[in-house]
Amino acid sequence: MMLKKIIIPIILLFPFLIFNLSCHSQEKHDYDIVFVNGLIIDGTGNSAYRADIGIADGIIKKIGKITKQGKVVVDIEGKIISPGFIDTHSHHDEGMFKMSHMLAAVSQGITTIFIGQDGFSDYPLSELVDRIHNHPIAVNIASFIGHNTIRANIMRDDYKRKATIDEIRRMEKMLSSELESGAWGLSSGLEYDPGIYSENNEIISLAKIASRNKSRYISHIRSEDRYFWSAIDEIISIGKEAQIPVQISHIKLAMKSLINQTDRLLKVLNNARSEGIIVSADIYPYTYWQSTMQVLFPKRDFNNKSSAEFALTEITSPEGVIVSEYTPSPNYKDMLLSEIAELLNQDPSELLMNMIDSTLDNDHSESIIAKSMSEEDIVNLLKWDYTNLCSDGGATGGHPRGYGSFTKVLGEYVRGQGLMSFEEAIYKMSGASSKNMGLKGRGILKENMAADIVVFDPEKVKDRATFYEPLLLSEGIIYVLVNGKFILENKKNTDHRPGVFLDRFKHHIGY
């Protein structure tokens, strides 16, 4: 009887004891993740310093000496921790829902990409926003609205002319509607159809709509070679007339007579800024560009032999052109134009015209990688106060910039050649990028900023992608976080897909 009296109270107390024990077994953590002993380069351009970083709820909660608990504590002694890199001109969105890990970008430390470039964008943008929400990817996405997309929608096949006033008004209405979906502004690709046929007044009219919406204008300018100086004048005039910040996409001096003209170019741009025009640029670190053969013919005179000869003597050379796609003869892929010409016993300029002619049919396509720039110009342009790094690359190959732009700068320009410091380079990849785009909450390591973070080994970081093996992943990037979640952990991609669509209304500083 006595035993029974003792057992009953114990049974009654059992749930309480279990609850108490479970509470004590669950340690209270102040942070989700703590990085300790890292060398912080914060993305401002300031000198590196040692500190710990505590992250909770996707936010950087503390930078300093951390003694409190973290669910995950990572010792990164000897490693650099920096803001996630921001790619202001990206084509990594191609196939991103199938390759949601975004390894081409992530393996080089990119955590945010700006898409809708060169005048081409998803339409309507609201459908892309919904899709990203329902099928998240590893990195953050921000998008511009493409002028070529708008122009094609309004003018259809009848685009080889200047637009009427009525057509421009309809374009303005379409742009306004798309900007309401959270786009960051207007992009143009004025070397491409159908935008190449537009006149300056058409672009200014649309840029004014973007300006009224406190957004931006980014442009693959009308010429990067023959008519370069007038194209620079045009984008400056758009900034002035529309009173809008303008960014020159993948700025380059891509013709023999333009090589070593960096000082002249920067003088023009600095003069514009002194007049109150907010002009900036992005650039990728390669002397080769990638596009269609057609851009070598701005007048679209594909059968003009003198135009073809000019392209292969003044802009590039038969030995400097790699065929990256040619569907009429797929075996030409990765061959030099000079090699194909020798194989066919054909004049290179004649061959160029014939290859374009055979791909004008919609069933065929082509692209080339061509050498036109100098490394010295690239470095000098990258060092301009208002230039940030970009990739202009994608995940499906062709040009190695899609897999190696950011790590090439860290491994080659910084560690290999000593052309800049890690602090300078990381600023060009993060702080400068966010400043040029007006992106708030990202781009520097600071308390209460989004926890988009990269940890890399300064002794090992490098690109591996080449023109003939463009899909090789970079080395030396160890951890990548987006919104406080590991998307790369110990050099391996994770199943986390924390990327979000960066709506301009929520994430844009304005101007």
Distance CA 226, CA 373 (A): 14
**Given strand 140-143, what is the order of strands in its sheet?**
85-87, 110-115, 140-143
| pLDDT of the residue at 69 | 83
How many angstroms separate the Cα of 260 from the Cα of each of 187, 201, 373? 28, 32, 9
Which residue did the predictor score with more confidence, 14 or 200?
A: 200
Tokens of 468: 């003939």
Give kind and range of the element (H or E) at residue 404.
Answer: helix 401-408
Sequence letter at residue 61: K
- Give the mean pLDDT of 435-461: 98
Q: How far is CA 189 from CA 112, 235, 458, in A?
A: 22, 12, 36
HSE toward the beta carbon, residue 362, CA cutoff 13 A: 0
What pLDDT does residue 7 have? 47
pLDDT exceeds 60 at position 400: yes
Q: Is the pTM of this model over 0.85?
A: yes
Paired with 62 in beta bridges are 54
What's the pLDDT score for residue 27? 52
Over residues 222-254, the pLDDT tens digits come to 999 999 999 999 999 999 999 999 999 999 999
> Tens digits of per-residue pLDDT, 469-511?
999 999 999 999 999 999 999 999 999 999 999 999 999 998 7
DSSP structure class, residue 336: B
> Quick one: average pLDDT of 135-155?
98
Token match 């049919």: residue? 361
CA distance 419 to 410: 10
Are 365 and 359 contacting, i.e. CB atoms less than 8 angstroms apart? yes
Q: What is the pLDDT of residues 246-278, one digit of tens each?
A: 999 999 999 999 999 999 999 999 999 999 999
Domains defined along the chain, listed by start: 82-287+372-507 (3.20.20.140), 291-370 (no CATH)
In the structure, what pLDDT confidence band is assigned to residue 361 with cuts at 50, 70 and 90? confident
The helix or strand, by DSSP H or E, that contains position 114, with its residue range, turns out to be strand 110-115
Judge whether 410 and 462 are in contact, CB under 8 Å.
yes
What are the tens digits of pLDDT across the range 299-313? 999 999 999 999 999
Cβ pair 438, 422 in contact under 8 A: no
Q: Which of 154, 157, 135 is nearest to 146 (CA)?
A: 154
- The yes-or-no verdict on residue 2 having pLDDT over 90 is no
Place of tokens 């709506």: 503
Other beta carbons within 10 Å of 16: 9
Give the span between the Cα atoms of 425 and 433, in whole angstroms: 11
- Model pLDDT for residues 101-133, shown as the tens digit of each residue: 999 999 999 999 999 999 999 999 999 999 999
Local structure of residue 36 (DSSP, 8 states): E
Tens digit of each residue's pLDDT (9 = 90 or more) over 14-57: 444 443 443 333 456 899 999 999 999 999 999 999 999 999 99
Which of 394, 405, 383, 397 lies closest to 287 in space, CA to CA?
405
Report pLDDT for 23: 39
E strands present in 327-380:
366-371
370-398 pLDDT, tens per residue?
A: 999 999 999 999 999 999 999 999 999 78
Q: What is the mean pLDDT of the chain?
A: 94
What mean pLDDT is predicted for residues 323-328?
Answer: 96
Is the four-CA dihedral 132, 138, 140, 143 of positive or negative sign? negative
Q: How large a percentage of the chain has pLDDT more than 90?
A: 92
Give percent above pLDDT 70 in the chain. 95
Alpha helices in 68-140 (DSSP H): 103-106, 125-134
Run of H or E including 274 = helix 262-274
Measured CA to CA, the distance from residue 92 to residue 395 in angstroms comes to: 5
Residue 79: CB atoms within 10 A of its CB come to 21
Q: Which residues pair with 366 in a beta bridge?
A: 326
Sign, CA dihedral 460-86-381-287, equals positive
